[in-house]
């Protein structure tokens, strides 16, 4: 009997995957409070999110971070040696400003606030992880999360992330993350939860 193809196997995300990844993450973050704050017009949100994720993948996390995907999910990781490199340059900031329109200044302030309060110790950073809602519950996000956590554990380093959706906090807690702080984004924006996971033996993920 032929085996069914594995759809949530993790593989590197390459430049040719940009359109597919952007579409997946657009669906994943359609109901995200922070992304709804950055893209408040529901009529244009999908187009804005698509351009946003295309930009940060092709110009930031793809070239310098560690990006992985399954058939229906994607994750952007930043190892410690790449954290200076993924800071957006002037061209990237210009593209993002064009995407965000009159919300660009809010975005810049939110990024600056996150950088100011970010961890100072060497760490892995989970910048983005999202699964297509139609595929949730099938292990796509968990597979991507385990992949990055295994690398961080092998290096003996903690992992940080900011969850912009409260419902996702228990998911991360299941993998050993704890909430460090809850903070609202500038100018009455929605809250985000800063979370940290201490390194573990490789077999403990």
The 10 Å CB-count burial string (b at 16+, else e) for 108-130 is: bebeebeeeeeeeeebbbbbbbb
- What band does 3 get if pLDDT is binned at 50, 70 and 90? very low
How far apart CA 156 and CA 129 sit, in angstroms, is 22
Domains by residue range for the chain, with CATH: 11-204 (3.40.630.30)
The mean pLDDT of 51-63, rounded to a whole number, is: 97
Full-model pTM: 0.92
87 vs 28, which has greater pLDDT?
A: 28
* Cα(10)–Cα(146) distance, integer angstroms: 10
pLDDT digits (tens, 9 = 90+) for 129-164: 999 999 988 999 999 999 999 999 999 999 999 999
**In this predicted model, what pLDDT tens digit does every residue of 101-129 receive, in sequence order?**
999 999 988 888 887 778 989 999 999 99
Per-residue model confidence (pLDDT) at position 118: 80
């Amino acid at each position: 009997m032929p085996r069914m193809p594995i759809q949530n196997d993790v593989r590197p995300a390459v430049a040719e995957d940009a359109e597919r990844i952007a579409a997946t993450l657009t669906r994943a973050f359609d109901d995200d409070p922070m992304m709804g704050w950055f893209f408040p017009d529901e009529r244009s949100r999908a187009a804005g999110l698509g351009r946003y994720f295309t930009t940060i993948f092709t110009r930031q996390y793809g070239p310098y971070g560690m990006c992985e995907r399954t058939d229906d999910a994607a994750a952007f990781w930043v190892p410690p040696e790449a954290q200076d490199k993924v800071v957006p340059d002037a061209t990237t900031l210009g593209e993002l400003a064009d995407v965000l329109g009159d919300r660009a200044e809010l975005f810049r302030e939110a990024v600056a606030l996150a950088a100011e309060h970010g961890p100072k110790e060497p760490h892995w950073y989970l910048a983005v992880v999202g699964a297509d809602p139609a595929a949730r519950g099938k292990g796509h996000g968990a597979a991507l999360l385990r992949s990055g956590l295994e690398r961080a554990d092998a290096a003996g380093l903690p992992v940080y992330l900011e969850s912009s959706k409260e419902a996702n906090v228990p998911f991360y807690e299941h993998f050993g993350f704890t909430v460090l702080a809850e903070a609202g984004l500038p100018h009455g924006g929605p809250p985000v939860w800063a979370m940290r996971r201490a390194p573990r033996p490789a077999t403990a993920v």
